[in-house]
Amino acid sequence: MKIGIIGAGKVGFTLGKIFSQGGIRITGYYSRNPESARQAAAFTHSSFYDTLQPLIEESDAIFITVPDGAITAVYQQVRQYQIPNKYICHCSGALSAAGAFPAIGEAGAHGFSIHPLFPISSKYEAYRELTGAFFCLEGEAAYLPVFQSLLEGLGYRTQIIPAGAKVRYHAACAMASNLVCALVQQSVDLLVSCGFPPELAADALAPLIRSNVAHLLESGVRDALTGPVERCDTATVETHLASMPDPGLRELYRLLSLRLIGIAAEKHPHTDYTPMRERLTERRTES
């Protein structure tokens, strides 16, 4: 398979690099920023294209690695050329193939979404960090095994998901990545309010965060759970809530604690968490 890439940002660089290192031919890059496309082509030992048509003609698969809001517009440009039997792929976590590529079947092409379940943060380094990552695939069912085999042949794990689950899937990714950033920042802010210098608050939390994440990944969420909710320590949870003047912060704490009750009950099936659940539910009207 020969792969052409439209878009020379972090995702385009990274996918091109892992494909080329794995022996898959990258025809090259086209981008609205020609210098970025030249850099990506040099990075992957492929070609720079200053127009779309030759890239499309010389590629079996086209990866559109542009921001989500631009994917369909770029596809409409691609569709102006002959694309029968070509694979058209995007890398959005939230968009389905059909949503991004309307009426692609009428053009005789096959559409897919291929999303790396990994925070790609660097053009030149992220490809080194992808070992063990999942790629989630969605699109025309008859041809999904093509990309499943390709990615698994490169050493990556894959999961096929239905089109209707794409948004929910992406929400799960955001919760595990982006929303964790918000929780950590909230913890930092609370420490600062207790007198920690801002530049030291994150450092103070780092060993706690690292240890917790290591246990969570090694043992699973249930076995890694500790703290007052697990102990059914209603009094401590009450004092936590009372210490927070911000109603929004109290509500965040309350909702997350309610979610922890179900996990704690699985870990300790003989513990009665009814008092904790009732008090946290009552707190809804007080927040």
Instruction: Write out pLDDT tens, residues 185-230.
Output: 999 999 999 999 998 999 999 999 999 999 999 999 999 999 999 9
Kindly give the pairing relationship between strand 110-116 and strand 87-90: parallel
182 by Cβ neighbours in 10 Å (0-12 / 13-18 / 19+) ranks as exposed
Amino acid 283: pLDDT:
67
Tokens representing 97? 């193939």
Taking the CA atoms of 127, 129, 132 and 134 in sequence, report the sign of the dihedral they define. negative
CA-to-CA distance for 32 and 35, rounded, in angstroms?
9
CA-to-CA distance for 93 and 87, rounded, in angstroms?
18
Q: Domains in the chain, ordered, with CATH?
A: 2-162 (3.40.50.720), 176-286 (1.10.1040)
H or E, element range at 255: helix 247-267
Amino acid 137: pLDDT:
98
Nearest to 254 by CA among 240, 273, 268: 240
3-state secondary structure of 220: coil
Tokens representing 272? 């009665």
How does DSSP classify residue 69?
A: G
Amino acid 286: pLDDT:
61
Tokens representing 183? 């929780």
Q: Give every residue of the chain whose pLDDT is below 70, as ranges.
A: 283, 285-287
CA-to-CA distance for 28 and 42, rounded, in angstroms?
9
Helix axes 34-44, 10-21, angle to 10 degrees: 20
Taking the CA atoms of 18, 12, 44 and 26 in sequence, report the sign of the dihedral they define. positive
